[in-house]
Amino acid sequence: MGKGRTPDGTAAVLAALRDHADELDSRADEVHRDEFDSVHQMRVSTRRLRSVLGSYQSLFPDGATDGVRAELRWLGTVLGNARDAEVMAEQFRDLLDSQPPELVRGPVRHRLVATNELAYRDAHIEAVAALDGTRYEALLASLDALLAAPPYRTDAVRFGLHRARRKLRKAARKAGLTARDTGEPTPERLHTVRKRAKALRYAAEAAASTRPSPVRAGKAAKKLQTVLGDYHDSVVARARLLAAADLARGAGEDTFTYGVLTAIEADQVRRAVPRSRKLVRKIRSASRKL
pLDDT at 7: 45
pLDDT at 3: 38
- Of 223, 168, 163, 235, give the one whose Cα is nearest residue 195: 168
pLDDT at 6: 43
pLDDT at 77: 98
Q: Domain coordinates of the chain in residue numbers?
A: 10-169+183-286
State the Cα–Cα distance between residues 20 and 140, nearest whole angstrom.
12
pLDDT at 182: 67
- pLDDT by position in tens, the chain (length 290): 333 344 458 888 999 999 999 999 999 999 999 999 999 999 999 999 999 999 999 999 999 999 999 999 999 999 999 999 999 999 999 999 999 999 999 999 999 999 999 999 999 999 999 999 999 999 999 999 999 987 777 678 888 999 999 999 999 999 999 866 667 899 999 999 999 999 999 999 999 887 777 889 999 999 999 999 999 999 999 999 999 999 999 999 999 999 999 999 999 999 999 999 999 999 998 888 77
Topology, domain 10-169+183-286: CHAD domain (1.40.20)
Predicted TM-score (pTM) of this structure: 0.90
Q: Is 99 left (phi over 0), alpha (psi -120 to 50) or beta?
A: beta
Residues 6 or more apart in contact with residue 11 via CB below 8 angstroms: 4, 5
pLDDT at 181: 63
Q: Residue 276 to residues 133, 162, 167, 198, 216: CA-CA distances in angstroms?
A: 41, 21, 16, 14, 17
pLDDT at 208: 86
Could you give the angle at which helices 66-97 and 212-250 cross, rounded to 10 degrees?
Answer: 60
State the Cα–Cα distance between residues 270 and 238, nearest whole angstrom.
12
State the Cα–Cα distance between residues 16 and 290, nearest whole angstrom.
18
Would you say 207 and 10 are in contact if contact means Cβ atoms under 8 Å apart? no
pLDDT at 5: 42
